[in-house]
Amino acid sequence: MFIDEACIGCIINQSRKVSHAIKADEKLTNRLVSHVEEMSKSFSYTQTPPAIAADVYEQMAQIAGKIDLYDEVKEHSTQKALSCVPLLKEELAKSTNKLLSATKIAVAGNVIDLAAEVEFDLHEELEKIFHTPFAHDDFDAFKEQLSHAKKVVVIGDNAGEHIFDHLFIETLQNLYSHAEFTYMVRGCAIINDVTMQEAIEAGFDKLCNLVDSGVNTPGFTYERATSHAKELFDSADLIISKGMGNYECMTPPRRKNICFLLKVKCGVVAASLGKNIGDIICKLS
């Protein structure tokens, strides 16, 4: 999925979000914003938004002298998500359709997205998620794929959201004990995406196979992945792709049986899906 005119303003606005996150003074803020504005003049319309974001964030990190621009924000998002876990476990325990409830939980976590055009309140989303239908609803087909899949790869998205992914995979393992589950994370710090550090802290290494994809983009870019990550991606019976960044990188899909789970948070992705900002999506390629 290539960038659109609207993506440029969004990416420039992200430089202001970074300035706020790192508590930059006026001089550093102006330097970051003006640098990204200058970069935007040569953005290629043959690249995905995450590919461009990787270059932008790398240069912002160099200017700011900080490897992980969102380390403090990621920690805050994770703690906020953890505070919701007891309530979510209660919902799962009383649910008569545990797969649907766990999938909705995984999608609700996707509102934690610092690069989104529109931001949503996590607690508000959790209050309504179980009663909100999928705007694109391939849930039954997704369920059918899980029933016979032997190898399932879940590609993570944002830190904080990964706490909900942990509950999701835990539920999948209980329901589909015949399958082997892998959780794939980013290869380095990029925006607020989940990396090995956050995944290990959350216990994914004890829950399932945990893999560093090697990509430096805020979305799974196959060409930038390690050979091991590519092999897992190609050989899996089912890929579960979390969030907009992964959707942008994998659209059009390079293989069958990718289930995209996301909250629509920008007009460009909404147009691609033929849906509205705020919709939740369960789309099987």
Mean pLDDT of 155-179: 97
**pLDDT score at 268:** 94
pLDDT of 124 higher than 90: no
Gap between the Cα atoms of 37 and 18, Å rounded: 14
Show the DSSP H helices in the chain as ranges.
5-21, 26-40, 49-64, 71-94, 98-108, 122-128, 139-148, 161-175, 196-201, 204-207, 227-235, 243-249, 267-273
Kindly report, residue by residue over 7-32, the tens digit of the pLDDT. Answer: 999 999 999 999 999 999 999 999 99
pLDDT in tens, 68-84: 999 999 999 999 999 99
Q: How many residues in total does the chain contain? A: 285
112 pLDDT tier (thresholds 50, 70, 90) = confident
**Residue 117 pLDDT greater than 80, yes or no:** no
- Sheet of strand 180-185: strand arrangement: 136-137, 280-284, 258-263, 238-242, 151-155, 180-185, 209-212
Domains plus CATH for the chain? 5-64 (no CATH), 71-284 (3.40.50.10880)
pLDDT on residue 53: 95
Say how many C-beta atoms besides its own lie within 10 A of residue 59's C-beta: 15
Q: What is the pLDDT of residues 171-194, one digit of tens each?
A: 999 999 999 999 999 999 999 999
Quickly state the pLDDT bin for 121 (edges 50, 70, 90): confident
Residues 32-46 have pLDDT tens digits of 999 999 999 999 999
Six token digits for residue 179: 């399958």
What is the distance between the alpha carbons of residues 52 and 282, in angstroms, rounded to a whole number? Answer: 26
Q: Give the closest residue to 35 by CA, choosing from 17, 59, 2, 55.
A: 59
pLDDT in tens, 188-222: 999 999 999 999 999 999 999 999 999 999 999 99
Q: What is the pTM of this model?
A: 0.95
The answer to whether residue 226 scores a pLDDT higher than 90 is yes
